[in-house]
Amino acid sequence: MEYEKQLQRIKNGSGFIAALDQSGGSTPKALENYGVSSADYDNDEAMFDLVHEMRARIMTCEAFDSERVLGAILFEDTMEREVNGKPTANYLWEDKNIVPFLKVDKGLAEKMSGVQVMRPMPNLDLLLDKAKNYPVFGTKMRSVIYEPSADGIELVVQQQFDVAKQILSKGLMPIVEPEVDINSAKKHDCELLLKADILRNLERLTDDHQVMLKLTLPEESGFYQALIDHPKVLKVVALSGGYSRSEACAKLKQNPGMIASFSRAFTEGLSRQQSDDEFAETITTSIEEIYQASKV
């Protein structure tokens, strides 16, 4: 019942998906951007305490509402913590009507063939079972493409869809995220190969299955329209990938049908040192700008 409600919300609701899923490797940078230096913590536990404090501050803001925010992607540590006395996913769904997702990948393997595939996930089934204890609707996993290598991109997409099928078998919605690096010298060539591989893999899904896609904003406006319109795609969301919020929003507006799922661009300008009023004003500006760009 909850899954069906969440499905309809993602399918028909307006807004964007906030990516609050920085994990072990990316947390120090996220904290640094938030005005917390490595001198402020001396172990991983203290680091995750601080990043959860930041995320809880965002989630409990009045502006972080279901009018403009459709969903939020969580790190496993965040899912297992509480916000306002409730497990984070329960707080988001029950109190805010915001659909929770869980990041499930374990980071990237070494670069080869112009790409980075995901590291092995031997305990994925256990993590998915854990997610089912909460009102988690879906998952997200990330690979990265740097060069237009047909073999490398095929590896990335095949791995993404193999894992997606495992996630679908557990009754969860996978967000497939084969990111194209925004600094690639041949970014559009990468996107051409990527789109063709995604379309091939979508055709191999059974008729009753859908996935979501999380893609880098493309060089050519409207480039992913065939994916947005595909019956086996629930929603196509865009990552910010290192673009500033204003750049990412400008590019998003050129791609009707895509909505934002920004991380760095979403939290841009937030600081631990801000007063509650300053923090609320900054996050409100961010949410409104990203929401407007996602409405196009």
Is the sign of the CA dihedral 180, 181, 186, 188 positive or negative? positive
Q: Are 182 and 204 in contact (CB under 8 A)?
A: no
Q: Are 96 and 70 in contact (CB under 8 A)?
A: no
Q: Are 115 and 62 in contact (CB under 8 A)?
A: no
d(CA 239, CA 263): 7
Of 177, 179, 191, 289, the catalytic one is 177
Amino acid at 162: D
177 is catalytic: yes
Q: Are 49 and 77 in contact (CB under 8 A)?
A: no
Of 103, 106, 214, 235, the catalytic one is 214
* Tokens standing for residue 80: 């297992």
Amino acid at 126: L
170 is catalytic: no
Catalytic center residues: 177, 214
